[in-house]
Amino acid sequence: MARERKRLLTGEIAKQAVWNSFTKLDPRAMIKNPVMFVVEVGTLITLLLSIWPNALGVSTAGRGYNVSVFLILLFTVLFANFAEALAEGRGKAQADTLRKTKSDTVARLLQKDGSLRDVPSTQLRKGDIVRVETGEIIPSDGEIIEGLASIDESAITGESAPVIKEAGGDFSSVTGGTRVVSDYILVKVTTDPGESFLDRMIALVEGASRQKTPNEIALTTLLAVLTLIFLFVILTLVPMADYLGISLDISTLIALLVCLIPTTIGGLLSAIGIAGMDRVTQFNVLAMSGKAVEAAGDIDTMILDKTGTITFGNRMAAQFLPVQGVDERTIAMAALQASVRDETPEGRSIVELAKEQGVTWEPSKYEGAEVVEFTAQTRMSGLNLRNGIEIRKGAVDSIRTYVESLGKHVPSDLEELGNQIAKQGGTPLAVAMEGHVYGVIYLKDTVKPGLKEKFAELRAMGIKTVMCTGDNPLTAATIAQEAGVDEFIAEAKPEDKIEAIKREQAQGKLVAMTGDGTNDAPALAQADVGLAMNSGTMAAKEAANMIDLDSDPTKLLSVIAIGKQLLITRGALTTFSIANDVAKYFAILPAMFIAAIPQLQVLNIMHLASPQSAILSALIFNAVIIPLLIPIAMKGVKYRAMTADKLLTRNLLLYGVGGMLVPFAGIKLIDMVISLLR
């Protein structure tokens, strides 16, 4: 599917876009774009003049000239509509591809008596529990409440490799339309019909939910004001021409107006916004709004989780380090007992390491034991056995506080063992039983390659990176230095992330964050750009304004680049459009007044053949430049990581100066062709 997304610009889409270009001529649709609405009104007036040359008063222009102006203006409007229709067509084609994934699947609904009943997936409601086995389609979005399975998500993400999903933790969320490859799962449905992730995805990519962003609204307002100003300018030319004894044709005045107002960016503005959303979606990121994409381009601070984002996240038990007076087998046994009911990847790795060292246990001893779940507040987990024995494992300082609260002695070398692991970039977990500390578990993690270079690029762009981790300060400092982040927050609780985001926002900065767990949801909601992992919990996905279908936390770096590309593309084409007008002044204004004011010949630096040829050449260039810029609007201006000053200078030279020079050559070339055809 990822490959299909990249090939969505097909001949069928182009044909549909051509048809939609005509249907969009409806004035009720055109009035949403003030610039092109003015051009359409001018087109209708020139059509009237083409049929009845003297309909609006005495005209000195011939019918052929009026028809030429009408046709050029018509194509100007159609080209602008085509750009928007083409961008919309790509989104609709992608939505059609997604619809193929969605089918009326039969679900096996779990009844109160434990039996299963086959029902259509459309009848499922929030709270229903369904059983999905090998080879079956998951009928609706939900959370796994029992079981572990390998799930093929290629219909959604485009990735062929199955992913492991299991009950509990931050990887229990499943999406309707994906397929179970092995084992079975019980899924608790979390959405009603029509509200599923796939439904929302279809609505967003086909543009049904697209709203204009604040920047887009502001630019549209600016273009409308410029159009109004130039309209008044054209109206003032009429009495000036009468005073000089010059008769200006209405078609010529309309042509001048169309050339002076920013028609290029007016025709491409909507297409740029739609294409920007489409580029994010092609990158397997679902943006809930265009505002989120734009905000990504203006980000000042990135707050990143360490585990799974900066590091691979698969922290595995590598070694048991006993405190003085305890042997390695004893600490291994204590760590095993603390983890036998821990279903997290870290917990299972501790059990596996203990088994490798020959430690065994009797499952019957742990029946009826109370499981103490890990929380961000206590930063500990463990078991309370039926005989009253308490077993705990967790952060070194948390275990120290726990042991001291029981009035027990803390070994003098516990701190040293923790620091030894932290200096190596690992995570130390202390183990205690009945208030006695046995030692430390060494959990090992690895920083993802290439991140240091990416963070350096962000730093060059003025973006600050902050790493959040529950690790102790020493471990956090080691990882932060290795990864190359600017700051870090150690021993972070969920509320610490929110406070960090609010602190940055209070300074007027825009903040981005990634997350996948339920405890990340408040911070994702607080951030200006919240990127949730598709593999994460439903709470995280609902709180965020972007969802990464590939569940790659480092994708936020690329999302920021796409957001900046959207803003740069809009700015570059606006600069190019306004700069274009300079050449049009030199083409049309001398042509209009040169008969009465011969001195204006000095402004005819392009030496255009005749007044009418000059006007038509400028008008044709004005129309043709729109489809020529469609590829840039769709693909976006190439983005390079650099400071804002360098970026501004580069784009002013390329699109500002270039925008002034290109029309001179284009208008002259068109004038030469017109002269040859006469």
Active-site positions?
A: 305
Q: Is 388 helix (H, G, I), strand (E, B) or coil?
A: coil
Residue 315 annotated as binding?
no
10 Å Cβ neighbour count for 232?
Answer: 8
Tokens of 228: 């109004």
Cα distances (angstroms) measured from residue 43 to each of 46, 65, 229, 610: 5, 13, 20, 23
Estimate the share of the chain in helix, then strand, then coil, as percent rounded to the nearest 5.
55, 15, 30
What count of residues does the chain have?
A: 678
What's the start-to-end Cα distance of the chain, in Å?
Answer: 53
Residue 170 annotated as binding?
no
Residue 24 annotated as binding?
no
Cα distances (angstroms) measured from residue 66 to each of 125, 428, 667: 63, 82, 19
Q: Are 155 and 105 in contact (CB under 8 A)?
A: no
Residue 520 annotated as binding?
yes
Cα distances (angstroms) measured from residue 78 to each of 74, 134, 193, 406: 6, 52, 39, 79
Beta strands in 497-619 (DSSP E): 511-515, 529-533, 546-548
How far apart CA 658 and CA 359 sit, in angstroms, is 74
- Radius of gyration of the chain from its Cα atoms, rounded to whole angstroms: 33
Residue 374 annotated as binding?
yes
Q: Are 1 and 96 in contact (CB under 8 A)?
A: no
How far apart CA 49 and CA 250 sit, in angstroms, is 9
Q: Are 40 and 77 in contact (CB under 8 A)?
A: yes
Fill in the DSSP letter of residue 652: I
Q: Is 444 helix (H, G, I), strand (E, B) or coil?
A: strand
How far apart CA 122 and CA 458 sit, in angstroms, is 46
- Partners of residue 443 on adjacent β-strands: 317, 427
| Nearest CA among 219, 82, 72, 94 for reference residue 158 | 94
Residue 380 annotated as binding?
yes
User: What's the sign of the alpha-carbon dihedral 554, 557, 558, 559?
Assistant: positive
Residue 346 annotated as binding?
yes
Which residues line the annotated binding site? 342, 346, 374-381, 393, 516, 520
Known binding positions for Mg(2+) = 516, 520
Binding-site annotation, residues for ATP: 342, 346, 374-381, 393
